Amino acid sequence: MTVRYQIVQRDDSLQSKSMRIQHRVTLTKGTRRRQALKTTGYRIFWGVGGKGFVPVKGGVRPRGREAAPGRVGGEVRCAEVRCGDSPPVPGVWGARRLRAVPPPCPAAGVSQVTVRDALNQALDEELERDERVFLLGEEVAQYDGAYKISRGLWKKYGDKRVIDTPISEMGFTGIAVGAAMAGLRPVCEFMTFNFSMQAIDQVINSAAKTCYMSAGSIAVPIVFRGPNGASAGVAAQHSQCFAAWYGHCPGLKVVSPWSSEDAKGLLKASIRDDNPVVMLENELLYGVPFEMSEQAQSKDFVVPIGKAKIERQGTHVTLVSHSRPVGHCLEAAAVLAKEGVECEVINLRTIRPMDIETVEASVVKTNHLVTVEGGWPQFGVGAEICARIMEGSAFNYLDAPAVRVTGADVPMPYAKILEDNCLPQVKDIIFAVKKALNI
């Protein structure tokens, strides 16, 4: 018999969307021995009879004391527990029985693919498709990338196509921009976009403006990619969101993927685009698996730049977000649905050019708007969305002022509890929705 539970997950770095079967535990009658059939390394806590169990490499070890409750704002995960003859032990801490059902069968051709693997596939396919494409950055070659995005590519394509660079963003970004002007299609990886500040003159003045200043005679087909926004425990100088920074600049296209489908499709579209594209990924999403259809896994699959995606249909309020907060919006929408509030969740995918038409159409339907982002509030992405709605025809359909949910207007603290309170959480989104709806 298979029983599905919701498990309190203490690690905020993981998204709950599309993570149904991530840990298996066998409960046998009598001794109720627990054996990890698949160790994920995630900090999932169980408690039976006052005892807690922590998944560790090679199995599950008892904590020997009562399991502590999950941290406020922790993610909720779906897991699958296989039971023997005995029913599930009552009072399993951190687990709530949903219903006894067989495990869901995935649709034909649908696979679970992590964001990391989706990006790796995109790079591999585009390097194979076009010999003008090459990848450069710190540790992208022999080390397989700081985040293993380029795993295996150096061995497959060699030193001329996958190039390790010195720790000099200004230098290797300038090389990449010059190569793009000469007709190549470089993919320039920043270990984090915080380090792109060292090269912002090359990105803005050299890459973004050259096509305009040359009257269109010099194209700069280049992709600047890497992790953006807050990670975990890396403090102020490594936690900024640059969506508003680069989205401010004409001449650039700026994309911000959430799911594996977004990541693969947008990266392939960015490499094929004749304009400089800034691709803002999220480090905390790299290891998260999402469902990918057979079509999305094909070599011809691309996500058009400048087109948002409605992740969840709704009628009462529009939630607009990008990158990791999209997952928070979906979780908030699931909670609110139990209270009779149906949220429409829009994944922007592209910051510039922004698909404001999709947002306007949703606002006309729901009459309420909440924007969610991890960046600072002043001059942010949410502020731009609110301004565009106010200036357009959709403003006449709003029944209440738009509400923004953003990161706190402070440099990111190092302390974990302060960091959590500086970033939008599910509870903050729920509060904002209820404020917009006056409930």
Asked if 202 and 170 count as a contact pair (C-beta separation under 8 A), the reply is: yes
Asked if 277 and 253 count as a contact pair (C-beta separation under 8 A), the reply is: yes
Residue range 383-395, pLDDT digits in tens: 999 999 999 999 9
Catalytic machinery residues: 169, 238
Residue range 174-188, pLDDT digits in tens: 999 999 999 999 999
As a whole number of angstroms, the distance between CA 281 and CA 227 comes to 5
Smallest CA-to-CA distance from 352 within 242, 432, 427 is with: 242
Smallest CA-to-CA distance from 258 within 118, 402, 429, 74 is with: 118
Residue range 396-422, pLDDT digits in tens: 999 999 999 999 999 999 999 999 999
Neighbouring residues of 172: CB distance < 8 A, sequence distance ≥ 6: 136, 137, 138, 165, 166, 188
Q: How far is CA 215 from each of CA 209, 210, 218, rounded to the nearest angstrom?
A: 10, 8, 8
As a whole number of angstroms, the distance between CA 302 and CA 254 comes to 16
Least confident of 102-111, 217-226, 270-279: 102-111
Tell if the pTM clears 0.85, that is, is over it. Answer: no
Q: What number of other Cβ atoms are within 10 A of residue 377's Cβ?
A: 15
Residue range 9-23, pLDDT digits in tens: 333 443 433 333 333
310 three-state secondary structure: strand
pLDDT at 101 over 60: no
Q: Which amino acid is at 420?
A: D
Strands (E), 247-368: 253-255, 277-281, 289-292, 309-312, 317-321, 343-347, 350-352
Residue 107 has a pLDDT of 65
Residue 91 has a pLDDT of 34
- Which percentage of the chain shows pLDDT scores above 70? 75
Least confident of 36-40, 189-193, 276-280, 391-395: 36-40
The residues with which 280 forms a beta bridge, in sequence order, are: 226
What does the pLDDT average to over 65-72? 35
Asked if 307 and 354 count as a contact pair (C-beta separation under 8 A), the reply is: no
